[in-house]
Structure 1
């Protein structure tokens, strides 16, 4: 389109674009046809497409959107080539799922593996770094699960679909609060958490017999906060 063709007062271009007005009805019909085809394709892709999507499934969805955008609105684009591409994407998705089912290496390459983020109330800082997940991002997800402090947790797994699997200890131990610093509970005046400190970096709560000066025995940090129990 040439720049001299762009006129501010050209209401026809504003409303209909460069296509004739009759193409508006064709767009509606094209959208209906592609919508019905997409319903069938997504139904055949499997139930997981309706739930939490993996990386490969998200890529499929984005590809589907790119495929249907052109033939839905461009007058020179036909419907049949796009339907053929949609069927090809469906076939590739089914093939990749079959390969992932047969071969563990293919599954790991497509979906990734789970990561252990919390072990017995302490953060695995290396795992957090590998997953590009900050402490505050993890704490935010734990707060959504009604977790108050790390001492409640035996294991926290970061699944390949982005969700957390949480396993609690039978009896909570004093640990690092996951609440924002402004809302953190005050130091315990009595009970098991009285006088206990937690490393603000990894959540380690040292025993009275531990001697490492001001350094955390797990991560070497020197950032301490009062441990909490509830």
Structure 2
């Protein structure tokens, strides 16, 4: 479209674009046909597409949107190219899933692997940095799981689909609170956490001499908080 063809008061262009008004009814029919095809394709892609998406499945969803856009609204484009592209995407998705089932390296390449981000109440900072996961993001996810402090946790895994899996210690030990600083509990008056402090960066539970003006022996940070039990 040339710039001189763009007229602000041209209501026909605002409503129908450059297509004739009759194309509006054709768009409705195209939408019905492509919607039915998409329902069928989503059924054939498998139940995983209805749950938490992997990287490959998210790529399929985004590609599907791009494919049906042209066939839905472009009057110069027929439906057959869109249907062929949908069939190709379905074949590729099924083929990649089959290869991932047969070969572990393909599965790791396509879906990724789980990562350990909490070990015995301590944050694995290098792994968190690798996955661009901040401490506050992790703590927010843990609060959603009713976790009050890191001392409750034996292992926390960041799964390939982005969800957290966690396993608690049989007996919680003093640890770093995951609550916001404004709502953090006061120092314990007695019990195992009394007088104990933890590193606010990695969750290291300090001995009596670790926090006497020294840096954390695990991450070299110098930021100590009262331990929570």
In the superposition, the TM-score normalised over structure 2's length comes to: 0.97
Pick closer, same or farther for the CA change 1:182–1:210 going to 2, 3 Å: closer
Which aligned segments of 4 or more residues in structure 1 are displaced greater than 3 angstroms? 207-213
Equivalenced residue count is 229
Give the distance between the partners of 1:129 and 1:48, measured in 2 at CA: 28
Q: Is there any run of 5+ residues in structure 1 with no aligned partner, and where?
A: none
**1:77 aligned residue:** 77
**2:5 aligned residue:** 5
Q: Is there any run of 5+ residues in structure 2 with no aligned partner, and where?
A: none
Give the distance between the partners of 2:118 and 2:224, measured in 1 at CA: 18
What's the Cα RMSD here?
A: 1.2
**1:128 aligned residue:** 128
Query: Secondary structure of the equivalent of 2:116?
Result: strand
Query: Secondary structure of the equivalent of 1:154?
Result: strand
**1:29 aligned residue:** 29
Pick closer, same or farther for the CA change 1:74–1:211 going to 2, 3 Å: closer
Give the distance between the partners of 1:172 and 1:56, measured in 2 at CA: 38
Query: Secondary structure of the equivalent of 1:49?
Result: helix
Query: Secondary structure of the equivalent of 1:165?
Result: strand
**1:226 aligned residue:** 226
**2:178 aligned residue:** 178
Structure 1 residue 207: Cα displacement: 3.3
**1:164 aligned residue:** 164
Give the distance between the partners of 2:26 and 2:211, measured in 1 at CA: 77
**2:100 aligned residue:** 100
Does structure 1 residue 51 correspond to structure 2 residue 65?
Answer: no
Contact 2:211 2:224 in 1 (8 A): no
